[in-house]
């Protein structure tokens, strides 16, 4: 769909795009086609399909699509436009749904153009046991957020988001999307990432809670050393001991440490 078609479609259902809700509709078909091509065959869960710019490319002979759309107006339109296709439309909020109760479950992949306001919690939902069958997630994010997902130690973007996804997913950049690829044009650029689930999580299930807590503590004050941040939770003597046992320089900051360091701390402390 081009910008004129999107305007007409929105007018037809009486909807005005809400920038505060991140309602910027994809109008570049080549971008939609590349996102769809990165998805495997099987059952696909699409989040926030909107007017269906991506949905049409996801539907194919070897795929079925379940689309979760919070807007009843757009959900009704999707059912009308794609009547007769292998599409199930679910009206609801992705952050609140139980995927096991959706038609099409279990899902092999997920595809989404995520509004900024729900992007981080939506990404973290993929780490939940309910989404274990999702082996591939192709997600469009604001460029700034995408950089945080793919960040490496040492940069200002590196932090809880990259570390939260690292145990279960690898992340790679697929393509860039500029403001001109959307209607209305947003003020920011976007990136599409492909998340691939690791065959075995790098953090065992019994340590997952401790790992998340350690990461949160260590990044609670980014400008402080890891010793000072850990001391706030463990006490200074215990924090120094834990870091020594883990082979970590207590004068370093959390953003300088690779993910394995936080796992070693979690293994030692077990908190």
In tens digits, the chain (271 residues) has pLDDT values of 889 999 999 999 999 887 766 789 999 999 999 999 999 999 999 999 999 999 999 998 899 999 999 999 999 999 999 999 999 999 999 999 999 999 999 999 999 998 888 999 999 999 999 999 999 999 999 999 999 999 999 989 999 999 999 999 999 999 999 999 999 999 999 999 999 999 999 999 999 999 999 999 999 999 999 999 999 999 999 999 999 999 999 999 999 999 999 999 999 987 5
Other Cβ atoms less than 10 A from the Cβ of 103: the count is 11
The Cα-based distances of 54 to 5, 28, 57 in angstroms read 15, 10, 5
CATH for 206-269? 1.10.8.100
Of 113, 74, 117, the C-alpha closest to 92 is 74
Of 24, 93, 73, 91, the C-alpha closest to 53 is 24
pLDDT, position 22:
72
For the chain, counts of helices (H) and of strands (E):
11, 9
CATH for 3-197? 3.40.50.150
pLDDT, position 144:
96
Q: Decide: helix, strand or coil at residue 112.
A: strand
Of 177, 231, 248, the C-alpha closest to 28 is 177
pLDDT, position 23:
82
pLDDT, position 20:
66
Residue 90 Ramachandran class (φ > 0 left, ψ -120 to 50 alpha, else beta) = beta
Residue 178 Ramachandran class (φ > 0 left, ψ -120 to 50 alpha, else beta) = beta
Q: How far is CA 39 from the centre of its chain?
A: 15
**CA–CA dist 24, 13 (Å, integer):** 16
Domain boundaries, the chain: 3-197, 206-269
pLDDT, position 269:
87
pLDDT, position 117:
84
Q: Which residues pair with 63 in a beta bridge?
A: 42, 60
């Amino acid at each position: 769909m081009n910008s004129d078609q999107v305007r007409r479609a929105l007018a037809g259902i009486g909807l005005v795009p809400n920038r505060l809700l991140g309602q910027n509709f994809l109008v570049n078909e080549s971008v939609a086609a590349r996102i769809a091509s990165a998805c495997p065959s099987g059952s696909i869960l699409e989040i926030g399909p909107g007017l269906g710019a991506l949905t049409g490319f996801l539907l194919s002979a070897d795929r079925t699509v379940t689309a979760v759309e919070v807007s009843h107006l757009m959900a009704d339109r999707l059912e009308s436009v794609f009547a007769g296709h292998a599409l199930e439309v679910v009206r609801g909020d992705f952050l609140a749904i139980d995927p096991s109760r959706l038609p099409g479950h279990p899902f092999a992949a997920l595809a989404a153009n995520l509004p900024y306001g729900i992007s981080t919690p939506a990404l973290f939902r993929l780490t939940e046991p309910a989404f274990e069958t999702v082996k591939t997630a192709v997600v469009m994010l604001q460029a700034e957020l995408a950089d945080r997902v793919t960040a490496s130690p040492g940069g200002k973007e590196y932090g809880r988001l990259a570390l939260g996804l690292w145990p279960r997913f690898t992340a790679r950049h697929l393509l860039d999307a500029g403001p001109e690829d959307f209607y209305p044009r947003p003020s920011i650029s976007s990136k599409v990432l492909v998340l691939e689930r690791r065959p075995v999580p790098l953090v065992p299930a019994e340590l997952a809670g401790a790992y998340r807590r350690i990461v949160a503590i260590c990044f609670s004050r980014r400008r402080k050393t890891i010793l000072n941040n850990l001391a706030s939770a463990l006490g200074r003597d215990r924090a120094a001991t834990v870091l020594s046992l883990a082979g970590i320089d207590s004068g370093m900051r959390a953003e300088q440490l690779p993910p394995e360091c936080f796992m070693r701390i979690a293994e030692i402390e077990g908190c």
